[in-house]
Amino acid sequence: MGKREKRDAASKALRELQVDLSRLQNHLIKSGEKVLVLFEGRDASGKDGTIKRIVEHLSPRETRVVALSKPSDRDQKSWYFQRWVPHLPAGGEIVLFNRSWYNRAGVERVMGFCSDEEYDEFLTTAPLFEQLLAHCGITIVKYYLDISRREQKRRLKERRDDPLKQWKLSPIDDTATKHWDDYSAARNEMLARTHTPFAPWTMVRGDEKSEARLNVIRDLLTRFDFGGKDRARDLPDPNVVFPYDKAALTNGQIAA
């Protein structure tokens, strides 16, 4: 299959999955379920593009994308999770976090924006916070988009060279590849300590953008039972999307 045929097939598959997403949303509105989807990953791992494909044809009234900016002085004096609480989903809503409270276990940890004590407290309390949310009826779905060092370097260069992607650039981007090993260590610790039965991590191999996006949507759809869902499109590729397991850190499934 040539590039054009692959592109056309991917576009067709995406449209079909987006139809199922619309059906899912209708189900959630009627049932009053609350859905929170967290997207984490290295810089340039594909979070923006994946979220865009998910929400593209959903109702903006019941769908929200949250991407918080740098914490204010007041935020820094507040309970760490406090600034995310107002953005949690109400009944019938889907809320997608483009980065979340896990900033503390990633960027803040690597760049020294939090103390060791704050970091340790976060890894202890994050599972408790998520358990409370789950107990109160919020379905939490956590995706970690994983890419190779080579692919991250390529995408960051593309950002710098493309005038339409300048808004994506930040001072942190310049240090992303330099701190690759530090981010890997922080990622591994975060996954190990916050992967729980009520809020497990799902890994996404993201070097192939189109495949990653399609399989994230497939995975999301498998988590709900709703009328009109096309069962033939249910299962994601397990080589692209799979539950976190410590063994993945050493068997090549997760970028070292």
Q: How far apart are CA 143 and CA 243, in angstroms?
A: 9
CA angle at residue 214 from 25 to 170, to 5 degrees?
95
> How does pLDDT run across 28-57, given as a tens digit for each residue?
999 999 999 999 999 999 999 999 999 999
Q: How far apart are CA 110 and CA 184, in angstroms?
A: 10
pLDDT of residue 233: 58
Handedness of CA 82, 87, 93, 97 (dihedral sign): negative
Q: How far apart are CA 199 and CA 131, in angstroms?
A: 7
User: Which whole number is the average pLDDT over 63-74?
Assistant: 96
The per-residue DSSP string of 32-68 comes to T-EEEEEEEESTTSSHHHHHHHHHTTS-TTTEEEE--
pLDDT of residue 59: 97
- Whether residue 169 has pLDDT greater than 80: no
Mean of per-residue pLDDT scores for the chain = 94
User: Which whole number is the average pLDDT over 137-155?
Assistant: 97
User: Which whole number is the average pLDDT over 137-147?
Assistant: 98
> How does pLDDT run across 85-123, given as a tens digit for each residue?
999 999 999 999 999 999 999 999 999 999 999 999 999
Query: pLDDT confidence of 6, banded at 50, 70, 90?
Result: confident
Beta bridge partners of 144: 40, 203
Q: How far apart are CA 17 and CA 30, in angstroms?
A: 20
pLDDT of residue 3: 81
Do residues 99 and 67 make contact, with C-beta atoms less than 8 angstroms apart? Answer: yes
- Whether residue 58 has pLDDT greater than 90: yes
Of residues 4 and 102, more confidence is placed in 102
- Whether residue 232 has pLDDT greater than 60: no
CA 254 to chain centre: 15
